[in-house]
Chain A
Amino acid sequence: MNKEHVENIIRRYENPEGKILGILEDIQETYKYLPKESLEFVSKKLGMPLSKLYSIATFYSFFNLKPVGEHIITVCMGTACHVRGAKDILNNLIELLKIGVNETTEDGKFFLTTEDKHFSLNTARCFGCCSMAPVIRVDDKIFGYVTIKDLPKILKAYGWKSK
């Protein structure tokens, strides 16, 4: 074993910069988004400028800077899903959930939340299950072969009421 080499590996993880993603991830797991106060707190704790944390949080599409709904619906916009009509599914969901069309959040990410904070809607590139296209995901559950007709049924299972 080369002691120096292993020490170098350890040193890599002493650096606070290497821990940040993990910290932010855990915060988001608790609050479902990154509250501003939490970023400010982390910044103070680690002695790292807030601008850097904000930069990281806006870089990764995984992080949300705004409160999200109770259930998160993700529509796959990958090639296979796109070909089988993912766009129609997305537009239909926007209509069913009554969220403004073509709205993007301040940080430029596509993430829409209903007024009652029950649902959030966003898109993803690929879930890796193209054979089931088109695919949507609600929280952790994947729904394949989705048609526009299926959507109200799926939403109802998560407490959606048609208005």
Chain B
Amino acid sequence: MKSKDIQVLINGQEFKAKEGELVIDIARRNGIFIPALCYEESLKPYGACRMCIVEIKNEGVKKKITTSCTLQAFDGLSIETDSEEVLKHRKVLLELYLAQAPNSSKLKELALRYGVNRTRFRQKIRDDDPLNNSCVLCGLCVRVCSEVMSAGVINFIGRGEKTRVNTPYFEQSELCLGCRACAEVCPTGAIEFRDDGDIRIAASWSNTKVELKKCSMCGKYYAPVKLDKKIDTLYYYKDRDDELRDMCPDCRRKAIARKMTLIAENEVEKYAK
């Protein structure tokens, strides 16, 4: 069934949308900034970080503040993304996050955007924290690892103030694909990976080591072997050239281009005769 076309009001401006769409999606599509730490389009709404709060301003409805990443749009919905009350809450949240993750430069940047440059709360600093005292426990890495990559390498450990994210038993994981999806989605830039020759090291995940694949043309290490295999089983077509299989994307493109030129030249010669 096709969903209904509706109109929503964001900061007094009217926007077209589909019924049931998430308000954060509508706003971002139209260039309205709503900050969020735990929101990622490819995952189910989670509503953990509370940064994306907005105020519902519909007449006759009691004033209400809610997270825009879980709010489904309906016709005539009217919201305010930066009302006085929303900003007040958001600033306190940012202060709390600054105390939880004092080392994250990404977080500091976001806080500055709202004029928050210090925190009244005690900063949580752990010596040799593998996440560099930058983790706000938003859960994106955990969810992306199990829901998108179906790897389930990391998860929350413990609870309350002592909660952290890591591999089970803090041991190197054999399941890690080395895809770096966790680092990619991390809103605070807490997760660290580094490539050392033919090995990729997940420094944040108990120094898990993943083997990298070498390009058969230029000799560059370009992707983890396990990830390559996984993509291969999903997308590899039998009629594809086998020599292309072990090439890095750059060389693969060049090789395909060369081949196409050769074919084209042959065709030209054929017609010239």
Contact = CB atoms under 8 A, between A and B. Distances in A.
A55 interface: yes
For A48, A53, A108, which residue has the most chain B Cβ atoms within 10 angstroms?
A: A108
Nearest to A36: B169
A51 B158 contact: no
Contact of A108 (B152, B153, B154, B158): B158
Interface string B110-150: 00000000000000000000000000000000000010000
A58 B157 contact: yes
Contacts, number: 42
Contacts of A54: 155, 157, 168-169
Interface string A43-59: 00000111111110011
B103 interface: no
Contacts of B157: 54-55, 58, 107
A161 B23 CA distance: 68
A38 B104 CA distance: 38
B81 interface: no
B2 interface: no
A107 B158 contact: yes
Contacts of B155: 49, 51-52, 54-55
Nearest to A108: B162
Contacts of A59: 156, 158-159
B156 A49 contact: no
Contacts of A39: 168
Nearest to B157: A58
A108 to B, nearest CB: 4
A90 B229 CA distance: 55
Contact of B153 (A36, A49, A107): A49
Nearest to A54: B168
A52 B152 contact: yes
A58 B167 CA distance: 12
B153 A51 contact: yes
11 contacts: A49-B151, A49-B155, A51-B168, A52-B146, A54-B168, A55-B157, A58-B159, A59-B156, A59-B158, A107-B157, A108-B162
Interface of A: 36, 39, 48-55, 58-59, 106-108
Interface of B: 146, 151-159, 162, 167-170, 173, 175
